[in-house]
Chain A
Amino acid sequence: MRTSTSALKSKDLLGIEPLLPEEIDLILDTAEGFKEVSERPVKKVPALRGQLVINLFMEASTRTRVSFEIAEKRLSADTLNFTASGSSVEKGETLIDTAENLVAMHPDMIVIRAKHPGAPKMLADRLPNVSIINAGDGSHEHPTQALLDAFTIRERLGRLAGVNVSIIGDIAHSRVVRSNIHLLTKMNANVTVAAPPTLIPSEIEKMGVRVVNSLDEAVEGADVIMMLRIQLERQGKLSFPSLREYYNTFGLTPERLKRANSEAIIMHPGPMNRGVEIASDVADDPRRSVILEQVTNGVAVRMAVLYLIGGAHNVE
């Protein structure tokens, strides 16, 4: 049985929802230490030497998969990338069978990107001898994204408590927004979500957020503006009439950004649709945009997560 002896109480990272504020602080503090590793000439520490990490990606991903792999390599872990395409998943093998077969080869950790919500929890419940790290499960959670977002906010603004964060875009289908709401509310930030009512999920205000249907209201007084990707396939159906209309009502432009606090930062988890949810002038604004810093910080945060889960465990 794999158990955690680190300050994280679980052997797995399935989401932000189960984490305590002090666990979040621990991960962010640990990430600060690891950030420097990526700036060295020899970008490697031996923390996970001899450990095998499998990156099980059932869904397409660029940033998250690459970021995890780099984090694993910088911690000296052995890594193996498994993607659904080209595997027996295409022959109809189920996720649980796939994972059980991988576990039979004794990995220490499995990083999973899943199409369906709850898939990481399903694996964690069934596979006691391996740690599961959720790299995004459907529209449920994407914990390492929220952690790297928090790391970036903390680095830029010096704190999380009391910060006004507005998250704008496809709230209904976003795993990023759910993990961010859990994290930011636990750390006493003020969260506003903004979208047309068709992209606001039922009863989200019970998660402790303010809901508005106006970009201007969301931007007003914000310290952090987090734009979410609009899935292009949703246009012209039931969520909103057209990309044109979406951009006109919820696209972040330099003009509309003027309502934000003067030091407000712009975030985006990527991939961006330039000219849909965000104008290039804003996305590339060297003073305000921290979009590429998020990517850089992602490696440090994932190193911290991998280290805290994998580097400080025992196997009974």
Chain B
Amino acid sequence: MSNLLITNARVIDPSQELDAKLDILIEDGLIARTDKRIKADVETIDANGLIAVPGLIDLHTHLREPGQEHKETIATGTRAAVAGGYTAVCAMANTLPPNDERAVTEMIIAESRRHGACRVYPIGAVSKGLAGEALAELADLRAAGCVGVSDDGKPVWNAQLMRRALEYCTMLGIPVIAHEEDANLSDGGVMHEGYFSTLLGMGGIPAASEETLVARDVILARVTGAHVHIAHLSTAGAVDSVRQARAAGVHVTCEVTPHHIALGDDSVQSFSTNLKMNPPLRSAAHREALLAGIADGTIDAIATDHAPHHFDEKNVEFDIAPFGVIGLETAFPICYDRLVRAGVIGLDRLIDLMSCGPGRIFNLPGGTLRQGAPGDVTLLDLDAQFKIAAPFQSKASNSAFIGQSVRGRAVTTIVGGDVRYDIRATKKKAKK
């Protein structure tokens, strides 16, 4: 286990309402102390001019391994994660085979320990084979290390199955993560239904497709007392449902993606397949509702829905390209630009959305720099300017943000006291 001293950083830790120039000492992989002028005879990073925050946590990552290693592997996906400042990712269950049984969970955990650059928390499937018919062995998945369950990629269409999954998970203390989409309403749609789908002649995915299922699951969470977490929420009606349910004491949490914050359906006029994802980029009114939900605290987390696809798979007409974009390496700069620099929220709230909030709502060990927490720290340089461009650390390059000039990035990512990513050459050995 590693020891590390980070000196002279501006430490922002919303979990302790901390914002001060401090040193951070990590011992045996855990946070030992945050204090002024710590003296310790260990490897030291001078973080002068940088901001130290609890390592970012992504609640929604598709690592594609096992089964679709041509898109991404645990090794490349976690390298993308640390390059984006993430120290932990939650790996979605829609692998091949899906993570619907203990053996797959154990494989993911073992491979992450061997080749993972950051922590990987597997998400198990709700239903066997993601088929939406019978419950997977949820207790066994939990015991093997899954931190939540989800059939993400598709909805749990059967309301009775959803109800039972929620009930069962109250026993396990984990959330059911819901991909909210009425597939009948989506009906082969490829982009948000609205003016631009009409203009472009493309099949629309109406907001109601998401809003109806969020409404259902909020009701099911209320009647079961379970924790439902709404994945990649994208519509005004869904924000309203979550806000009202929360006020009524229902245990519902939710996440939004950077691309739904930053981009609108008007951008699809380029027909770029890197703008095709599900849920789709929405209209301006929906994006404004997401920003309002972020500002008033309705939204708990920003999650990337990092969904790598091979170049060949995306190099086709928009209609037939697969849904999904990568996001781990661009999430912080995009959110810093669109939320903090744009004046929607402060930097402390952004760190809460990208680290503390995710840790808190999924009961993960990180998301804080309190004594005894994992020694997971991300150093941010808010002045670094760069242009988003391929190649990425990810095996894939299906980013919606290629060509955008951004400011602010993770420069050093520390997992359990180990430097797993560092674009600067400022690392110094302590004098013996």
Query: Which residues of A are at the interface with B, using a C-beta cutoff of 8 A?
Result: 17, 94-96, 114-119, 121-122, 137-141, 173, 175, 178, 201-204, 206-207
Does B17 sit at the interface, judged by CB under 8 A? Answer: no
Cβ-defined partner of B195 (8 Å) among A96, A115, A117, A203: A203
Cβ-defined partner of A139 (8 Å) among B195, B202, B317: B202
Contact assessment for B200 and A202 in the assembled complex, using a CB-CB cutoff below 8 Å:
no
Does B197 sit at the interface, judged by CB under 8 A? Answer: yes
Contact assessment for B197 and A122 in the assembled complex, using a CB-CB cutoff below 8 Å:
no
Smallest CB separation, A205 vs chain B (Å): 9
Q: Within 8 Å CB of B202, what residues of A? A: 117-118, 138-140
Does B315 sit at the interface, judged by CB under 8 A? Answer: yes
- Per-residue A-contact encoding for B45-62, CB less than 8 Å = 1, 0 else: 000000000000000000
Q: How far is the CA of A201 from the CA of B201 in the complex (A)?
A: 9
Q: Within 8 Å CB of A206, what residues of B? A: 195, 198
Contact status of A96 and B194, CB under 8 A, knowing A116-B320, A117-B200, A178-B199? no
Q: Within 8 Å CB of B195, what residues of A? A: 202-203, 206-207
Smallest CB separation, B6 vs chain A (Å): 46
Q: How far is the CA of A96 from the CA of B318 in the complex (A)?
A: 12
Contact assessment for A122 and B200 in the assembled complex, using a CB-CB cutoff below 8 Å:
no
Q: Within 8 Å CB of A178, what residues of B? A: 199, 201
Contact assessment for B198 and A118 in the assembled complex, using a CB-CB cutoff below 8 Å:
no
Cβ-defined partner of A117 (8 Å) among B193, B194, B204, B319: B319
Contact assessment for A204 and B198 in the assembled complex, using a CB-CB cutoff below 8 Å:
yes
Cβ-defined partner of A203 (8 Å) among B194, B201, B317: B194
Q: How far is the CA of A316 from the CA of B201 in the complex (A)?
A: 35
Cβ-defined partner of B271 (8 Å) among A94, A121, A201: A121
Cβ-defined partner of A122 (8 Å) among B201, B206, B271: B271
How many A-B contacts are there with CB distance less than 8 Å? 65
Smallest CB separation, A177 vs chain B (Å): 9
Contact assessment for A96 and B315 in the assembled complex, using a CB-CB cutoff below 8 Å:
yes
Does B316 sit at the interface, judged by CB under 8 A? Answer: yes
Contact assessment for A202 and B317 in the assembled complex, using a CB-CB cutoff below 8 Å:
no
Q: Within 8 Å CB of B197, what residues of A? A: 201-202
Smallest CB separation, B264 vs chain A (Å): 14
- Per-residue A-contact encoding for B246-290, CB less than 8 Å = 1, 0 else: 000000000000000000000000010000000000000000000
13 cross-chain CB contacts under 8 A: A95-B317, A96-B316, A116-B317, A117-B200, A117-B319, A118-B200, A119-B317, A138-B202, A201-B198, A201-B204, A202-B193, A202-B198, A202-B206
Contact assessment for A116 and B319 in the assembled complex, using a CB-CB cutoff below 8 Å:
yes
Contact assessment for A141 and B201 in the assembled complex, using a CB-CB cutoff below 8 Å:
yes
Q: Within 8 Å CB of A95, what residues of B? A: 316-317
Contact assessment for B198 and A203 in the assembled complex, using a CB-CB cutoff below 8 Å:
yes
- Per-residue A-contact encoding for B187-221, CB less than 8 Å = 1, 0 else: 00000011101111110101000000000000000
Smallest CB separation, A55 vs chain B (Å): 19
Q: How far is the CA of A207 from the CA of B200 in the complex (A)?
A: 12
Q: Within 8 Å CB of B194, what residues of A? A: 202-203
Q: Within 8 Å CB of A121, what residues of B? A: 271
